[in-house]
Amino acid sequence: MNYLRMENLDLAGKRVMIREDLNVPISDGKITSDARIKASVPTIRMALEMGAAVLVLSHLGRPVEGEFDAQLSLQPVARRLGELLGRSVRLETDWLDGVDVEPGQVVLCENVRFNRGEKSNDPVLARTMASLCDVFVMDAFGTAHRAQASTEGIVRAAPLSCAGPLLSGELDALGKSLDDPARPMLAIVGGSKVSTKLKVLDALLNKVDELIVGGGIANTFIAASGFDVGRSLYEPDLIHDAQRLIQKVHAKGGSIPIPKDVVVAKSFSPDAEPMIRSVDEVGRDEMILDIGPLTAAEYSTVIAGSGTVIWNGPVGVFEFTGFAAGTRSIAEAIERSSAFSIAGGGDTLAAIDLFGVTQGISYISTGGGAFLEFVEGNSLPAVVALQEVGGSHLIQDTTLA
Ligand code: ADP
Ligand code: MG
């Protein structure tokens, strides 16, 4: 792809602003998965080693714009980033008026979403942010699908914009594996709702040889196959779409397997008692919260026989220990398999972290929504902007030469 890459620029003495995706899960002020912070470290370190003064931008959660919310402050992220970098990282609360930063230093700017105009991609806000740097580095794949002030607007407004190694690496790896996959290609799509993933399911069915659905999505497919799902999370309005997808796979000679057995509970809580049921025996008052052991073993065999595996979405409520076994089996089967495996999604990443299978997955995408958009074949606005401004800089360079 035609855009400037950070590693090819001279950043010595420059004020370099890096947009990362440090939107990590935080519970009671504690970071529960620092995977995204860890992923950003090589880029920040590279900029420091090149002699840059580094400003880091990120969003966290969904605050009301224009209002400070202590719950959504990046303070815990600044602390963790400092530990990982082995140097102190200052959190700058009011940074739009200007930030003091010297080469070799890292300053984390407070949650970009506290600023009015971030989500609507306000050009004035984008210009204000851009005026703080000499070089803007877009490195947040996870937000590249959103045209916002700190992702797309700033790329166009900054004196010079480029892609960071995390973003370009991610685009290269995903592009290669989707364009020319080792077959058979399997997609595993879990998570809570079909509605949020209907488009990606449709798009994947054009590419993959096999599809496994899990979680609340599977519940909708179970209902679409005529079984009673009791009080499970499912979407009755989407049963028709589920049936259409089943038909679509059948027409290609494939199938979307329905779990043979499931793990149910009478309440949605961490200490609810897990009970294994055949899929046709789910009680009226029960909820399906995981796939059962037979199904997990069957899916593991499918994974073992695949050349490429794309995974998005846990197949059960893995946050509750009694309902985590299915997702753990899937994660471990992917870890064991020799397939080229790509995983993405906020909760999927948390599961990968929890089950300690990071090393066994070929490529872990830091993006959730962006990962899905990319898999669907849509262009990502921030990347389009990088290509457009990158192209014009290249033209300017050749004109000057
Ligand atoms: P990702 O962030 O990886 O894209 P999603 O956000 O789509 O994944 O879905 C993750 C959520 O789905 C998890 O919080 C998990 O508890 C929930 N989930 C999985 N299976 C079920 C189920 N059977 N019933 C209710 N929620 C489920
Ligand atoms: Mg999620």
Tens digit of pLDDT for each residue in 24-51? Answer: 989 888 998 898 899 999 999 999 999 9
- Is the C-beta atom of 272 inside 6 A of ligand 1? no
**Residue 325: pLDDT above 70?**
yes
Q: How far apart are the first and last CA of the chain?
A: 23
pLDDT score recorded for residue 391: 59
Taking only the tens place, the pLDDT of each residue in 348-358 is 988 999 999 99
pLDDT surpasses 70 at 400: no
Q: Is the CB of 233 under 6 A from ligand 1?
A: yes
CA–centroid distance, residue 266 to ligand 2 (Å): 24
pLDDT tens profile 1-13: 689 999 999 999 9
pLDDT bracket for residue 392 (50, 70, 90): low
Among residues 350, 393, 398, the alpha carbon closest in space to that of 156 is found at 393
Q: Is the CB of 312 under 6 A from ligand 1?
A: yes
Q: Looking at the CA of residue 290, tell me the nearest atom of ligand 1.
A: 23
pLDDT of 147-167, one tens digit each?
999 999 999 999 999 999 999
Which residues fall within 8 angstroms of residue 167, CB to CB, at 6 or more apart? 138, 139, 140, 141, 144, 383
Probe residue for ligand 1, chosen from 192, 279, 288, 355 as the CB with the greatest number of ligand atoms within 8 Å: 192
At residue 187, φ and ψ (nearest 5 deg) are: -115, 135
Q: Which ligand sits nearest to residue 230's alpha carbon? A: 1
* Mean pLDDT value across residues 83-108: 97
Whether the CB of 188 sits within 6 Å of ligand 1: no
Ligand 1 contact via 368 beta carbon (within 6 Å): yes
Would you say the CB of residue 192 lies under 6 angstroms from ligand 1?
A: yes
Band (399; pLDDT cuts 50, 70, 90): very low
324 CA → ligand 1 middle, Å: 11
Task: For residue 364, give Cα distances in angstroms to 165, 310, 325, 349.
Answer: 14, 10, 21, 8
Task: Read off the pLDDT of residues 272-290 as tens digits, 9 standing for 90 and up.
Answer: 999 999 999 999 999 999 9
Residue 94: predicted pLDDT? 96
Cβ-proximal residues to 368 (8 Å cutoff; 6+ apart), any chain? 142, 344, 345, 346
Rounded CA-CA distance 80/100 in Å is 21
- Cα(192) to centroid(ligand 2), Å: 8
Q: Which atom of ligand 1 is nearest to the CA of 320?
A: 16
Query: Quick check: CB of 326 below 6 Å from ligand 1?
Result: no
pLDDT score at 252: 84
State residue 401's pLDDT score: 32
> Distance from the CA of 264 to the center of ligand 2, in angstroms?
21
Residue nearest to atom 15 of ligand 1 (CA): 317
The residue type of 201 is L
Q: Is the dihedral of CA 346, 347, 348, 350 positive or negative?
A: positive
Q: Quick one: pLDDT at residue 198?
A: 85
| pLDDT above 60 for 393 | no
Q: Say yes or no: CB of residue 34 within 6 Å of ligand 1.
A: no
Q: Give the lowest-confidence range in 54-58, 169-173, 208-212, 252-256.
A: 252-256
At 291-315, the pLDDT tens digits run: 999 999 999 999 999 999 999 999 9
Percent of the chain with pLDDT over 90: 80
Helices (H), 214-313: 215-224, 239-251, 293-304
User: 218-229: per-residue pLDDT in tens?
Assistant: 999 999 999 999
Looking from the CA of residue 351, the nearest atom of ligand 1 is: 3
* 93: DSSP letter: S
H helices of 162-319, where? Answer: 165-179, 198-207, 215-224, 239-251, 293-304
What confidence score (pLDDT) does residue 346 get?
83
pLDDT band at 369 (very low <50, low <70, confident <90, very high): confident
Report the separation in Å between the CA atom of 71 and the middle of ligand 1, taken as the mean of its atom positions. Answer: 23
- At 358 the pLDDT is 94
Half-sphere exposure of 194 (CA within 13 A, CB side): 24
For residue 196, the ligand 1 atom closest to its alpha carbon is 7
What average pLDDT does the segment 199-215 reach?
91
Distances (CA, A) of 279 to 4, 209, 249, 294, 321: 52, 25, 21, 11, 21
Q: How does residue 397 score in pLDDT terms, banded at 50, 70 and 90?
A: very low
Examine the pLDDT at 254 and tell me if it is beyond 90: no
State the Cα–Cα distance between residues 239 and 349, nearest whole angstrom: 28
From the CA of 214, how far away is ligand 1's center (Å)?
Answer: 9
User: Are the C-beta atoms of 366 and 345 separated by less than 8 Å?
Assistant: no
What is the CA(318)–ligand 1 centre distance, in A? 8
What's the pLDDT at 107?
Answer: 98
CA distance 89 to 85: 9
Is 289's C-beta closer than 6 angstroms to any atom of ligand 1?
yes
Nearest CA, atom 10, ligand 1: 191
Q: Which ligand is closest to the CA of 286, given by its number?
A: 1
346 lines ligand 1 (CB under 6 A): yes
As a whole number, mean pLDDT of residues 381-391 equals: 92
Catalytically active residues, by annotation:
36, 193, 346, 369
Reported as a pLDDT band with limits 50, 70 and 90, residue 141 is: very high
Q: Which tokens is 335 given?
A: 């870890």
Site to probe by mutation for ligand 1, drawn from 347, 349, 372 as the one with most ligand atoms within 8 Å of Cβ, is 347
Element containing residue 138 per DSSP (H, E): strand 135-138
| CA-closest residue to ligand 1 atom 9 | 191
